[in-house]
Chain A
Amino acid sequence: MSFTEHKSLRDAYGATLAELGALYPDIVALDADLSGSTRTSKFAAKFPKRFFNMGVAEADMMSTAAGFAAAGKIPFASTFAVFASGRAWDQVRQSVCLSRLNVKIVASHGGISVGEDGPTHQALEDIALMRALPFMNVVVPCDAHETAAVIRAAAEHIGPMYVRTAREKFPVVLPPETKFTLGKGTLLRQGADVAVIACGYMVSQALLAAEKLAGEGIEASVVNMSTIKPLDEDMVTQMATTCGAIVTAEEHSITGGLGAAVAEVVCETEPVPVIRMGMKSPVGQSGKPEELLDFYGMNPAGVAEAVYKAIALKRRMAGGTR
């Protein structure tokens, strides 16, 4: 198995937002001097009067977006994930979430695959930061096709939402007209030995790992858990019950992200081993995206290693021995 096609998530965002602009007259877009990178420039070109560049001022942008929403607009605010989640966290908390306003934050440049820009620009904490906020929905699409579906759902959904895209092109995992339902995970592959629950880039890597593991006699389920919040708890519990061991995989710190969200549910419903696979290093470094992904184990081998650990733990627990 290999993925022949690679597509950009941020391109999918830009194209979909520009398309939605015609269907939803109330959509406005805001950016903080990164519209070329986040691809809100596509919307700006088509709807110049409904695009607002706020300059290098992310805090101002988020509260302004809240003002738009309070007046009935559907604002999409975009910048890099580090700035959207960190720089403007308090604005997202108070102006957007506590006020329960319909602001969509679509942040590009999530994860280590940001590459050469280095540690300051690699968002490894954004899922944790956004997940902690009241009323916030958090979505990490796995490929360009799912991104398009997520953006359509974001326009339709009423309430704050954080969507994470990426700088790099990701392998295309899902079909072009793929559907997305907020709060629902998708079982992409079924196996009884272990469940790999992944989001974003790691979904493709989990599928590749599952193929490799099958050759070794290990059957893995693979779930695309694109909605981190509200988490599909039924799916998580079902995986714990049927597989008895879980690996989570995310291009994010292992603290506070998808892995933490899954572990929180598993330990309170169906306790089984959960191995969190993701960035173990507290920070990244500059480098080519593919070099960094390999160096930090964000690849099929990294997933497989976590699977071996999970299965070993599962056996230990079943045997009741150390």
Chain B
Amino acid sequence: MTNEQSEGNVAASASQPRSGWPLFEVFLRSKRGLNHVHVGSLHAADPQMALRHARDLYTRRNEGVSIWVVQAADITASSPDEKDPFFAPSGDKVYRHPTFYEIPDSVPHI
């Protein structure tokens, strides 16, 4: 019915074997002074096309002044699961927070 087969062959070396174009994650800087933030994803044949698609898809109303795209397959991720032991080391170190320390109210500016 469609030509997906040949399309798949062209992109066979890419990371997304069943899809013609690989998946890119899109990050936007909404204005100067702020970090780039993840906003979503899209498919594109290459990074240049991904940038153009990201502009058309995610910045139709001046939502961004800068875009990053990165192929989804190139991202290394931890698990977002809050129970993940990966984040355990920071869980029991309350002394890293200023509120851990008791200072008399009479001491100013601290």
A and B interact physically: no
Q: Which residues of A contact B (CB under 8 A)?
A: none
Q: Which residues of B contact A (CB under 8 A)?
A: none
